[in-house]
């Protein structure tokens, strides 16, 4: 990409090159500055202060960070989303991969209907998804509970302490398998036919082709889905905050790190500490994302 | 794209005829397995459709996955739209305005900047692009609270701008448009236009933007969904129910239904359910109509790294 722009640039008069590029990028970059860098900078600034009863707003250096790193509520919240990430994301991506390969195999009837149907939940707002599943899980008029009552079986406790993380994982999986499947499927469609021809010439069967041709070609797409999943999991908020209304005893206001930051800012009124927690959460996500990228690149290198 | 999907992943024409016919055959077990998966994904939506036809009592007493004897979808829809002086209509309109303005703005900004980064060299271009690229990893919700605090300082909280402005900057959209522009807009075409004496702005709006259309629609559609579905940002930015988008509105109704139990507010339940159903219809239609675009756009973003 940069090679083509470099060669064509020689043919272009230098003056035009100097003025137009900045002009096209300026509106985006200006808003980026105001809406990304400024809030981050402001949060960093706020995180260095504390609101005290006596003395008002006091500069405290890194005190808030020290408190946060020892705060059991925050650590539990981060731990919970880390556990969620480790279990839910591989499961979701594996399902998405299997579905994409099945769609791409050409072995399916009704492939178009199946593809669209699995993707449809992505268009459902997470608020609505959480509400729906919350009612479906419910002990009163949830169909699972109703069916168990009919059969004189104990109703499953989807909203209990032991099940909750799994119930949340189910909602998030339901929402995003189709989205990830489409990314992977779109990437599969762009694999040139020559590769299949060459593999078939060498005597590879469909499984061998999937493993040795399709999977390597999917690497960038898989990395992308993984990256988005890291970012999504660690900021889990909508689903737990809605289920919290149904099961307040199970989901506390610090159930996930993001829920904690929210309740600090808006019910606890601890704005400085909330900024600190937000900042740290962002840092955790950036580090986790880079770790994903780095391990992927290391694997390619070896 | 859409026609290609129905064709089998074609083995080589030169491959042995035996293998070829084998992979042309449809697999019934695989189809059945995928239909079972499909059932899982459609079941909650079927439940929502069924539940929208029920009264509170039928919701509780009748089996959840089948219609009751006295369906009342129309009555539920009417109740949804008239509750609290028609606040639901406000929510729908707010959502549409926030989503459309954000999506159009974000797509245009990303297209212009992506084109600028792909087709021009200038001082600091690489550094600026890398900075934006790094921001893809900054989570929206970690940014939301600082943005709220900043907006509170400048008096933007509790206005539509509080929801629209942060949605206008889409770093991933910029990345997508840059990759797309590098491929879809040939340099020779730009040169020809320049020789003909066209100005850069005119070249962008008249020529490049058309070639960028599929990528543009992708960014547009995904920003539209992201804004339509956004909950966290409007939840913290807005406290006037008249400004709520549908997600925040529905969750406030759901909270009322939860607290109310029986009695007057017990009737909130059908409203939450019917409102949920109504809220997902526009997006599902948009995706079905525009599937040609979002698929090709996703292919671009996922293959080029």
Q: State how far residue B281 is from chain A, nearest Cα, in angstroms.
A: 9
Q: Which of B295, B39, B298 is nearest to A110 (CA)?
A: B39
A43: nearest CB among B146, B236, B284 = B146
Q: State how far residue A235 is from chain B, nearest Cα, in angstroms.
A: 6
Q: In whole numbers, what is the pLDDT of chain B averaged over residues? A: 83
How far apart CA B254 and CA B272 sit, in angstroms, is 6
pLDDT value for A77: 93
How far apart CA B139 and CA A229 sit, in angstroms, is 11
Residues of A in contact with B189 (CB under 8 A): none
How far apart CA B270 and CA B59 sit, in angstroms, is 8
Q: DSSP states of B186-208 as a string?
A: -HHHHHHHHHTT--HHHHIIIII
pLDDT in tens, B229-242: 999 999 999 999 99
Write down the pTM of the prediction: 0.87
Query: Residue B297 pLDDT more than 80?
Result: no
Taking an 8 Å cut-off on Cβ atoms, the answer to whether B30 and A141 are in contact is no
Residue B71 vs residue A227, higher pLDDT: A227
pLDDT value for A13: 42
Residue A300 vs residue B204, higher pLDDT: B204
pLDDT value for B301: 57
Whether residue B241 contacts residue B222, with contact meaning beta carbons closer than 8 Å, is answered with no
- The ipTM value here is 0.86
Taking an 8 Å cut-off on Cβ atoms, the answer to whether B191 and A116 are in contact is no
How far apart CA B105 and CA A285 sit, in angstroms, is 27
Taking an 8 Å cut-off on Cβ atoms, the answer to whether A271 and B59 are in contact is no
Residue A180 vs residue A301, higher pLDDT: A180
Query: Residue A19 pLDDT more than 50?
Result: yes
Identify the weakest region by mean pLDDT among A74-83, B148-157, B250-259.
B250-259
Q: DSSP states of B209-252 as a string?
A: HHHTHHHHHHHHHHHHHHHHH--HHHHHH---GGG--HHHHHHH
- Among chain B residues, the shortest Cα distance to A6 is held by B121
Whether residue A253 contacts residue A259, with contact meaning beta carbons closer than 8 Å, is answered with yes
Whether residue A136 contacts residue A142, with contact meaning beta carbons closer than 8 Å, is answered with yes
Residues of A in contact with B33 (CB under 8 A): 102
pLDDT value for B135: 87
**Mean pLDDT of all residues in B66-95:** 88
Give me the residues paired with residue A58 across strands: A50
Q: DSSP states of chain A as a string?
A: -HHHHHHHHHHS-HHHHHHHHHHHHHHHHHHHIIIIIHHHHHHHHHTTEEEETTTEEEE-TTHHHHHHHT-HHHHHHHHHHHHHHHHHHHHHHHHHHHHHHHHHTT--SSHHHHHHHHHGGGGS-HHHHHHHHHHHH-TTT-HHHHHHHHTT-PPP-TTSTTTHHHHHHHHHHHHHHHHHHHHHHHHHHTS-HHHHHHHHHTT--HHHHIIIIIHHHHHHHHHHHHHHHHHHHHT--HHHHHHHHH-TTTS-TTSSHHHHHHHHHHTS--HHHHHHHHHHHHHHHHHHHHHHHHHHHHHHH-
- Among chain B residues, the shortest Cα distance to A186 is held by B299
Query: Residue A187 pLDDT more than 90?
Result: no
Q: State how far residue A147 is from chain B, nearest Cα, in angstroms.
A: 8
Secondary structure of B3-44 in HEC code, one letter for each residue: HHHHCCCCCCCCCCHHHHHHHHCCCHHHHHHHHHHHHHHHHH
Taking an 8 Å cut-off on Cβ atoms, the answer to whether A141 and B302 are in contact is no
| Overall residue count recorded for chain A in this entry | 302
Q: DSSP states of B110-172 as a string?
A: HHHHHHHHHH---TTHHHHHHHHHHHTTS-HHHHHHHHHHHHHHHT-TTSHHHHHHHHH--HH
For residue A41 the two structure tokens come to 């900078």
**Mean pLDDT of all residues in A103-107:** 87
Neighbours of B143 (CB within 10 A): 22
Whether residue B69 contacts residue A145, with contact meaning beta carbons closer than 8 Å, is answered with no
Q: Which of B165, B160, B295 is nearest to B221 (CA)?
A: B295
Give me the residues paired with residue A16 across strands: none
pLDDT value for A8: 47
Element (H, E) at B64: none
Query: Residue B302 pLDDT more than 70?
Result: no
Q: State how far residue A42 is from chain B, nearest Cα, in angstroms.
A: 7
How far apart CA A81 and CA A254 sit, in angstroms, is 11
Query: Residue A196 pLDDT more than 90?
Result: no
Q: Which residue has the tokens 């980026």?
A: A32
Per-residue pLDDT band for A24 (boundaries 50, 70, 90) equals: very high
pLDDT value for A149: 81
How far apart CA A90 and CA A226 sit, in angstroms, is 9
Residues of A in contact with B229 (CB under 8 A): 124-127
**Mean pLDDT of all residues in A84-89:** 94
Query: Residue A2 pLDDT more than 80?
Result: no
Q: Which residue has the tokens 């660690």?
A: A234
pLDDT in tens, A246-260: 888 899 999 999 999
Torsion of CA A173, A178, A180, A185, to 10 degrees: 150
**Mean pLDDT of all residues in B274-303:** 78
B47: nearest CB among A46, A118, A143 = A143
Whether residue B120 contacts residue A17, with contact meaning beta carbons closer than 8 Å, is answered with yes
How far does chain A reach from its first CA to its final CA, in angstroms?
25
How far apart CA B50 and CA B61 sit, in angstroms, is 14
β A49-52/A56-59 pair status:
antiparallel
Per-residue pLDDT band for B22 (boundaries 50, 70, 90) equals: very low
B165: nearest CB among A35, A117, A188 = A35
Instruction: Tell me if residue B51 falls in helix, strand or coil.
Output: helix
Q: Which of B80, B44, B78, B79 is nearest to B64 (CA)?
A: B44
How far apart CA B163 and CA A192 sit, in angstroms, is 43
Taking an 8 Å cut-off on Cβ atoms, the answer to whether B149 and A42 are in contact is yes
**Mean pLDDT of all residues in A193-212:** 84
pLDDT in tens, B216-270: 888 888 888 889 999 999 999 999 999 999 999 999 999 888 876 544 555 788 8
Identify the weakest region by mean pLDDT among A161-170, B22-31, B146-155, B290-299.
B290-299
Residues of chain B with pLDDT > 90, as a percent, come to 42
How far apart CA B229 and CA B246 sit, in angstroms, is 9
Whether residue B220 contacts residue B294, with contact meaning beta carbons closer than 8 Å, is answered with no
């Amino acid at each position: 990409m940069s090679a083509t722009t470099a060669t064509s640039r020689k043919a272009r008069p230098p003056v035009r090159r100097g003025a137009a590029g900045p002009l096209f990028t300026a509106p985006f970059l200006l808003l980026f500055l105001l809406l990304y860098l400024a809030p981050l900078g402001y949060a960093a600034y706020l995180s260095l202060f504390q609101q005290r009863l006596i003395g008002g707003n006091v500069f405290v250096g890194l005190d808030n960070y020290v408190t946060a790193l020892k705060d059991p509520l925050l650590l539990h919240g981060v731990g919970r989303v880390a556990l969620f990430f480790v279990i839910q994301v591989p499961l979701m991506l594996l399902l998405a991969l299997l579905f994409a390969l099945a769609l791409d195999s050409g072995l399916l009837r009704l492939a178009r209907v199946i593809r669209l149907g699995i993707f449809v939940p992505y268009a459902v707002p997470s608020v609505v998804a959480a509400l729906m599943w919350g009612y479906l899980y419910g002990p009163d008029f949830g169909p699972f509970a109703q069916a168990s009552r009919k059969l004189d079986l104990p109703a499953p406790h989807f909203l209990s302490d032991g099940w909750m993380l799994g119930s949340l994982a189910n909602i998030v999986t339901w929402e995003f398998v189709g989205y990830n499947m489409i990314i992977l499927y779109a990437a599969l469609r762009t694999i040139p036919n020559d590769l299949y021809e060459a593999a078939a010439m060498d005597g590879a069967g469909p499984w061998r082709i999937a493993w040795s041709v399709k999977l390597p070609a999917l690497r960038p797409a898989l990395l992308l889905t993984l990256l988005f999943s890291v970012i999504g999991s660690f900021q889990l908020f909508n689903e737990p905050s809605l289920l919290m209304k149904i099961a307040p005893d199970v989901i506390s206001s610090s159930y996930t790190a993001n829920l904690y930051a929210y309740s600090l800012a808006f019910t606890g009124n601890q704005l400085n500490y909330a900024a600190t927690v937000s900042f740290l959460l962002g840092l955790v996500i950036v580090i986790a994302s880079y770790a994903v990228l780095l391990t992927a690149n290391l694997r390619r290198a070896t | 794209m859409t026609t290609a999907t129905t064709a089998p992943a074609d083995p080589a024409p030169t491959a042995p005829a035996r293998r070829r016919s084998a992979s042309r055959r449809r697999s019934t077990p695989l189809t059945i397995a995928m239909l079972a998966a499909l059932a899982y994904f459609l079941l909650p939506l079927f439940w929502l459709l069924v539940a929208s036809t029920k009264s509170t009592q039928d919701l509780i007493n009748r089996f959840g996955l089948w219609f009751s004897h006295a369906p009342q979808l129309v009555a539920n829809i009417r109740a949804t739209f008239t509750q609290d002086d028609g606040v639901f209509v406000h929510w729908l309109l707010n959502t549409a305005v926030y989503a459309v303005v954000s999506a159009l703005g974000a797509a245009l900004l990303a297209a212009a900047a992506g084109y600028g980064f792909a087709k021009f060299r200038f001082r600091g271009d690489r550094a600026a692009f890398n900075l934006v690229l790094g921001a893809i990893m900054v989570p929206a919700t970690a940014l939301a609270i600082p943005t709220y605090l900043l907006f509170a300082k400048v008096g933007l909280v509790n206005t539509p701008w509080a929801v629209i402005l942060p949605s206008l900057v889409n770093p991933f959209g910029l990345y997508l448009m840059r990759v797309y522009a590098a491929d879809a807009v040939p340099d020779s075409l730009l040169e020809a236009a320049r020789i003909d004496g066209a100005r850069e702005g005119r070249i962008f709006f008249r020529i490049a933007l058309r070639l960028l259309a599929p990528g543009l629609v992708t960014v547009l559609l995904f920003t539209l969904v992201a804004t339509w579905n956004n909950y966290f940002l409007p939840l913290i930015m807005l406290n006037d129910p008249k400004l709520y988008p549908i997600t925040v509105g529905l969750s406030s109704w759901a909270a009322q239904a939860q607290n109310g139990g029986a009695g007057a507010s017990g009737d909130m339940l059908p409203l939450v359910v019917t409102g949920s159903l109504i809220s997902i219809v526009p997006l599902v239609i948009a995706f079905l109509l525009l599937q040609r675009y979002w698929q090709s756009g996703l292919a671009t973003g996922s293959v080029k790294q």
